[in-house]
Structure formats: structure tokens, C-alpha cells
Structure 1
Amino acid sequence: MDLRKIKKVHGSEYRPIADLITYSPMPTRSLDMIDPFLFLNHHGFQKYPQNNHGLPFGPHPHRGMETVTFILEGDIMHKDSSGHESVIEAGGVQYMTAGKGLIHAEVSSSEFKKNGGDLEILQLWLNLPASKKMLSPKYVGLQKEEIPSFDLNEGNVTVQQLFGEWNGVKGAFEGNFPISMSTIYLKNGGSFEKDIPENENIFFYIVRGKIKVNGEEVPFRHLVEFANQGEVLKVEASEDSVVILGHALPFNEPVVAQGPFVMNTEDEIREAYRDYQRGLFGTWDG
């Protein structure tokens, strides 16, 4: 099988939010989306002092999409209008289906705000197919020890399997469409190969370190856009690295995104705003 062809490597744009260091590789002026992967924010790395304000993401609505949140350092306290609430710590992952609509907040725990510490968190938005945009909301938050993982390359590569199956290991989360996703930790010199069907789109983001993928060296905070040619990913770390790898068939449906809503038409966006204003996303009790 042939190596998957690289189309372009995209750097992240710096977009701070209050005192939160934030970089985003998608969407940018050079890349809109990689269907069905919509959006990525990379917060940190940074060190918060004692008695800080924590994450700034107070109550806000969503409809028509999903979030996958990776907590590398620090923590997130999640609360939503469907009654879910949890604090997920370093190494854990949150998966939320907004579906027909909910209100949620993502803030730091009272302990983190009091004591401070390291923080690095990423949030990836996944689209939902038109047939599933009005699903009932769902949330699952898992700590590091609750997520299946396995080693490759004699322990030089550790894979957290989040969705789908790889190496006989089933992912921690049950997605709403066929998808594979992993957080991959590579030691300096660690390497792996993975075969991905040519008709699936690949999401490949370097969180930390520096890696060589299919012969091209890519530093951290860069996203690799692949063409749908070839099936093999060949990855080697030039230093200790962290990579997020996902792949799925594209939906090939219209995408209309406005603020926190991702639908298929302008009319559906207007309906989402009306429904939110009418209180159909649930109530927020603070």
C-alpha cells in the first residue's frame, strides 16, 4: 500500500481568550474544515497562579454538533442543562453531544482556581450528520484510568483509544457515526504505522513535540491536511511528542455554522436561535 499523500501543513493562529493562551489550526484563512472535523482550539500550555479565575467558558448554548475535550494538564468542571456535572483531570477526556440543544459551562474547579497549576486543554468539534442533528443531548466524562490504552513500538508509543477500534482495543466512547480517534504519546524516536482507508478523511494535529509523518517533519501546533490518496501513515517522533489522530468518512453535506450552532441551512440556524431564546435548550440554574 502507498503512503497517504500530504496536501498541506497548516500552522495555528494565535487567538487568546481573556488570559487564556489559545491557538487554533482550524478554521483559519488557509483551512476551513476537514469534514466531519470542524474546529479545534488548543489552550495553553501555561501556568496559572494561585487564586486565579480559571477557564472563561461560562454558560453558553450549542446545537447540531459534538465536542471532544482533551485535558492534558489542569482540569475542567463541566455542567450542563441536561443535568450532567463532573470534574475531569489531567489525562481525561470529555465527550458531549449537543444534538437538539443544551446549555453548558466549562470552567476550572474551585481547587484549581485556589491553588493554580499547569494547564493545557484542547477542544475539537465534530459535525453531526443531518439525520442526527436533533438527537437528545449526551455527556460522558472519563478520567485517564477509565480510558483504554495500549503500547506500540516496544513501549515507545502509548495510544489512548477514544473512538473506534485499533490493535484490538475498543475505544472508550460510542460515537454517533463511524469514527476512529486516538491520543498518541510518543517518546523520542518512537514510531508507528497505521493503515487508513483512502476514502476516509484524516485529522492529524501535533499537540507537543516534533514528528515526521510520511517523510515530512512537522512541529507542534501544526495540523497536517492529507489528500485522499494512499492509505499508510508512517509516523516517527523527533522528540517526545503528543498527537491527536482521527479519521472518518466525510458527510459531504452543507455546513452552515454561526456562533455555537452548526446546521445544514440558514433557516435551521435561525430556528436554533429562536428555540434557544424560547428556553427549549433547558434552563440554567447556575
Structure 2
Amino acid sequence: MRKIKKKHKAISAPIGDLVTYRALPTNSVNYIDPFLFLNHHGPQVYKPGNQGLPFGPHPHRGFETLTFILDGDIMHQDTGGGKDVIAAGGVQWMTAGRGLIHAEVSSEKFKQEGGPMEILQLWFNLPAKYKMTEPKYIGLQKESIPAVNEDEGKVKVNVVSGNWRETQGPIPSLSDIHMASIEMQPGGSFTTSVEAARNIFFYVVRGSVKVNGETVEKLHLVEFINEGEQVEVEALEDSYILFGHALPFNEPVVAHGPFVMNTEEEIRQAFRDYQAGKMGSWES
């Protein structure tokens, strides 16, 4: 079995009136290579006539984002031409690469009507060889994400990238990152194996689970040691987890705001390029 190194509790980091918990980075864990950042927005209920999500136009370079929409919706737009609205159960995967400007806001319908909202955004690093790759955006609604049922339907694995058993995720990853969201009913369980060299990403969004014999409550990130391969998970109540794994890049990580590069000079260049309009110009 994979040994658990530590369980890290997400910290409260509200953004205005948006309830937010940050699981990466915190004082107890900086990142789990190549998983850099996780913001957990909500759960909360928006009243009718709300302003929606506050993430207006901003630039990115050097990494990728994966956004899970559990409740509510996100209207995405970017300078690479991507534009759509993804509803509950869907995901958005954006490769910032050499740079682009994007916005993530609520749809007009959600702002008018309100309702429950819960969204998670995970950042993956890009290896140096892909830092300046062409930007790309993929948005998928719930029905486009294959689901694998385990334990007589008590466990539902939504496969986003990589594979689960024999099921291939619909989003190709430049860096062989495997990601899924997993819904579990009380008493439901699954067992999977991850090569010891690969780093595991495991975050409990809702509920409470037992992982390799240890109880993990909601809003906790599990950090594993790179020894052993087997991961056994049992739900103690209705639970929802994010689960993934990838080989670490073992490269320098220099992050400043919206840019993640390998050197300080590359960060300075990113700011210069953004200011020079090389990441596109925003048109609402």
C-alpha cells in the first residue's frame, strides 16, 4: 500500500463574498509536483440578481488549469478564441502555454436566477519543453465525460484525462496527467494502483473517506510517500473526491501571480510580453 505522508487541511481564503478554501499551496504544503494550486470555491447559494464569479480578464503563462463545476456554471472566454458556458457536472481544461488572457464569470442566467455554486480549480505545471506551447481550451459538459461504475454502482468515476481501468478520458494531456472526479455512496469502495514513481493528487471535496486505513475528512488534501502502489478508498458517508496522478517534472518552479515559469527572468519576460500585447488584447 501507498503510505500517507500527511493530511493537509485547506485554509479559508475568501475572495470578496466568494467562499474559498485553498488546498494548495498552504503553510504545510507548497505543491505536489506537478500539481501546483487548488482553489475550492463554495459551496454557497447565490441570491437572484447576483454579480456572479469575480474572475474577469487576466493573463496566464506556463501552466494548465482544470476546473470542475459541481454546482452553478462558468462562462469562459479567452484570447485564443475559446468561449462557452459549462454547467454543473462539466469541466474546463485550459493550456495557457505561451500565454493568453481569459475570464471565468457566471452566465447571465445564473446572475439573474442565482442558485447553488461550488467550483474547484486545479493548476498543473507544464514542463520546460511545453512552457511556450500554443494555448488551448477544452470545455466539456457532464454528458461528454465517461463514467465508470465500481462496487455495484456505489462508486462513480468520472474520467477526465488519462485512463481508469480500460476507459480513456476525453482530454489529452501533454504531460500524461491522469485526473478524475469520484462520487461515492456510504460504504462504497474502490482499489487502484499507481506506480510508486508517480505523485498522487487526492482531495476530499465532500464527505469523509477512509484511505489506506486512515480517515480523511472533507477539505483535506492527502500527501503520499512514493513507496508502494495500492490505494484503497472507502466512503464513510456520501463523498466526492478529486483523484489524479502524474510523474513529477523535478524542474525549478518560479511562480509570480498568473505566471509559472522556471526562472525569474522568464517571469519578467512574461510580464513584458503581456504588457506588449503578445498574449492578445481583450474584447468583451
Q: TM-score, normalised by structure 2?
A: 1.00
For 2:147 and 2:130, locate their aligned partners in 1 and report how far apart those are by CA, in whole Å.
29
Bigger mean CA offset, 170-179 vs 252-261: 170-179
1:7-48 Cα distance to aligned partner (Å, 9 max, x none) = 000001100001100001110000000000000000000000
For 1:179 and 1:90, locate their aligned partners in 2 and report how far apart those are by CA, in whole Å.
23
- Superposed, 1:47-58 pairs within 5 Å as 47-58=45-56
Q: Among residues 57, 60, 81, which one is paired with 1:83 in the alignment? A: 81
Consecutive aligned runs of 4 or more in structure 1 exceeding 6 Å deviation: none
- Superposed, 1:1-286 pairs within 5 Å as 3-286=1-284
Report deviation, 1:176. Answer: 0.8
1:73-117 Cα distance to aligned partner (Å, 9 max, x none) = 000000001111000000000000000000000000000000000
Q: Matched residue of 1:135: which SS?
A: coil
For 1:173 and 1:148, locate their aligned partners in 2 and report how far apart those are by CA, in whole Å.
11
* Structure 2 residue runs without a partner (length 5+): none
Report deviation, 1:167. Answer: 1.5
1:135-178 Cα distance to aligned partner (Å, 9 max, x none) = 01000000000111110001000000011111210001001111
For 2:80 and 2:196, locate their aligned partners in 1 and report how far apart those are by CA, in whole Å.
38
Report deviation, 1:128. Answer: 0.2
What amino acid sits opposite 1:252 in the alignment?
A: N
For 2:252 and 2:270, locate their aligned partners in 1 and report how far apart those are by CA, in whole Å.
16
For 2:108 and 2:36, locate their aligned partners in 1 and report how far apart those are by CA, in whole Å.
31
For 1:231 and 1:161, locate their aligned partners in 2 and report how far apart those are by CA, in whole Å.
20
Report deviation, 1:204. Answer: 0.2
What amino acid sits opposite 1:8 in the alignment?
A: K
Q: How many residues align?
A: 284
For 2:23 and 2:109, locate their aligned partners in 1 and report how far apart those are by CA, in whole Å.
31
Cα RMSD between the aligned structures? 0.4
What amino acid sits opposite 2:210 in the alignment?
A: K
* Seq. identity, %: 61
